[in-house]
Structure 1
Amino acid sequence: MTKPPGKPSQPLLGDVDTPLRSKPRRRRDPAQPQFSLDPMPARIDPCLALLKPRPPKGPQWAFEVKWDGYRLAVHIEPSGVRILTRGGHDWTHRFPAIAAEAAQLGAATAILDGEAVVLDDQGRSDFGKLQQSLGGRGGNLNSGASVLMAFDLLYFDGHDLAKTELSTRRHLLESLIAPGRESAIRLSEDVDADGEQLLRVACEHGLEGIIAKDRNSPYRSGRLGDWVKIKCIQSDGFLIIGYEKSTASFGGIGRLLLAARKGGELIYVGGVGTGFNERSAADLRKQMDKLTIGKPAVDTGRKRNAVFVEPMLVAEIEYRAWTHDGKLRHASYKGLRDKADEASVYELE
């Protein structure tokens, strides 16, 4: 026996013959603020740290560890993630782990400022290992071992933060990347300590140095003094102008010949004969063989058995001091800077 049909259900809004209409919209109160979205910049030139011999003093200064790697801007966009070098080159494919992690952060839009590094067993950044993971200067390897030490947030969920003070930008960054996070994107934590004390501890642990940042400063591109770097060991970029040959050394390189800038000219600052291994020396020799020239670009004095090259390659050199006649003391080769990194060449005063 079939069940008789039930009573028709009540219509959602009264009479079925009455057309459905939404409630009339109220007029917007002119006093109510409007929250417009800022256009997302395609690229922001980085804020650079000014080298100082000692840490600044005052409550407005925040301190961080100085990382030794490649400066990157990570753009999180609705269309995906882009990773740009300091020179504006797209290196998203070179840092796949960082790109994948950025896509999982939960931000609709953001621009992270940070340093891509490879860490050693003690958690210190190792520029040489980073270079190896990327295949050397001009290499095309993907660095799966790299992590991004993020230290600033320049754009977040539709809002340009560049004119906002650092303390607010850091607060928002820490809401996105939790302190102590162990992943391909980590927070470069600020350290609540006296600058002199922190520098001493950093040097004792073999770190490159520290960074001091004005908590009240906006984000300004260039080297304007809002950020200051203080180094334990001097490390700067110098142009390679040639090398002295040696049959007993890796790659046949006995000693690199180096130059710094002074105004519009180059000045010879001595050489470096340590810091190479078989792989780095072979890569370096391959790069230099493409640039050989008959006469030196800079006066180096009399050099026996020397090969001169166009001053196109920037080497990162670690050194302890300068001699009285303007040459590097206790220098050691750390690696070649890539063109995309736009590393600066040391400027003599």
Structure 2
Amino acid sequence: MQTERLKFIKPMKPLLVREPPVSDDWLHEIKYDGFRVQLILDWAGARAFTRNEHDWSRRFWPVVDAAEKLKAKSFILDGEMIAPEPDGRPNFLQMHSRMAWNAELLAYVAFDILYLDGEDLRAVPLIERKAKLWQLVKPATGIIQYSQHVEGGGADFYEAAQRMGLEGIVSKRRESPYKSGATDAWVKTKSPNYLRRERKRAA
């Protein structure tokens, strides 16, 4: 019997840029305003870790329970824990309240898969990893959701995100492997309104 559990993998971090890339070899996703979380399932059950490897499984127990119902023996998912509004938009101000009192109103938006049923997927191109991720979490209408993407059209997607009042977008090279740490294969473009709020908080 396997005794060693799957281990946390340091997340891949997008670099902040002023404008999104425009070439067609990039995927673009919404930048969800929440907590970066890695979901791990192995022979002993599921766990949820923050980006700094803190085990928050108890705080995110409904998502952990849902992860154990997915049709796989083991996986490592990368994603964002959010407090969605009725229209699906994340409300970061509600995160702490829901974590304390209404964890069932949280949602986990999965955007990458690093490991699945004995196979390390980090060297697999992103577009292929996302296809495997979709097969695992579809139809993704419950507490575990799927981060949809568009290919190309970064400027238009960024403008649409701003009009919706979102934090911004994350752009990723479609053929990129998963590498821990900061990398220019993933970049984030934040809405000017969010950047101003961050500067005020830091002042």
Fold shared, TM-score > 0.5 on shorter chain: yes
Q: Does the 8 A contact of 1:40 with 1:160 survive in 2?
A: no
| Equivalent in 104, 109, 114 of residue 149 of structure 1 | 109
Report the 3-state secondary structure (helix = DSSP H, G, I; strand = E; otherwise coil) of the residue aligned with 1:225.
Answer: strand
* Match in the other structure for 2:7: 42
* Match in the other structure for 1:171: 131
Q: What's the Cα RMSD here?
A: 2.0
Asked whether 1:101 is paired with 2:60, we answer no
Report the 3-state secondary structure (helix = DSSP H, G, I; strand = E; otherwise coil) of the residue aligned with 2:98.
Answer: helix
Q: Does the 8 A contact of 1:40 with 1:158 survive in 2?
A: no
Alpha-carbon offset, residue 178 of structure 1: 1.8
Aligned partners of 1:93, 1:168: CA distance in 2, in Å? Answer: 32
* Equivalent residues, number: 200
Asked whether 1:85 is paired with 2:50, we answer yes
Aligned partners of 1:120, 1:166: CA distance in 2, in Å? Answer: 29
Gaps of 5+ in 2: none
Q: Does the 8 A contact of 1:117 with 1:146 survive in 2?
A: yes
Q: Does the 8 A contact of 2:30 with 2:170 survive in 1?
A: yes
Alpha-carbon offset, residue 199 of structure 1: 0.7
Alpha-carbon offset, residue 192 of structure 1: 3.6
* Match in the other structure for 1:29: none
Q: Report which of the two structures shows the higher radius of gyration computed on alpha carbons.
A: 1
* Match in the other structure for 2:197: 318
Aligned partners of 2:88, 2:151: CA distance in 1, in Å? Answer: 20
Q: Does the 8 A contact of 1:93 with 1:142 survive in 2?
A: no
Alpha-carbon offset, residue 78 of structure 1: 1.1
Report the 3-state secondary structure (helix = DSSP H, G, I; strand = E; otherwise coil) of the residue aligned with 2:142.
Answer: coil
What code does the residue aligned with 1:59 have? D
Structure 1 or 2: more helix by fraction: 2
Q: Quick one: structure 1 residues 76 and 41, their matched pair in 2 at CA, closer, same or farther if it must change by over 3 Å?
A: closer
Percentage of pairs with the same residue: 34
Q: Quick one: structure 1 residues 234 and 226, their matched pair in 2 at CA, closer, same or farther if it must change by over 3 Å?
A: farther
| Equivalent in 169, 191, 197 of residue 210 of structure 1 | 169
Aligned partners of 2:98, 2:106: CA distance in 1, in Å? Answer: 8
* Match in the other structure for 1:63: 28
Q: Does the 8 A contact of 1:57 with 1:195 survive in 2?
A: yes
* Match in the other structure for 2:159: 200
Alpha-carbon offset, residue 130 of structure 1: 0.8
Report the 3-state secondary structure (helix = DSSP H, G, I; strand = E; otherwise coil) of the residue aligned with 2:105.
Answer: coil
Alpha-carbon offset, residue 166 of structure 1: 0.7
For residues 297-344 of structure 1, the C-alpha deviation after alignment (integer angstroms, 9 at most, x for no partner) is: xxxxxxxxxxxxxxxxxxxx825xxxxxxxx4xx3x6xxxxxxxxxxx
Aligned partners of 1:218, 1:40: CA distance in 2, in Å? Answer: 23
Gaps of 5+ in 1: 1-38, 136-140, 237-316, 320-327, 334-344
Aligned partners of 1:119, 1:64: CA distance in 2, in Å? Answer: 16
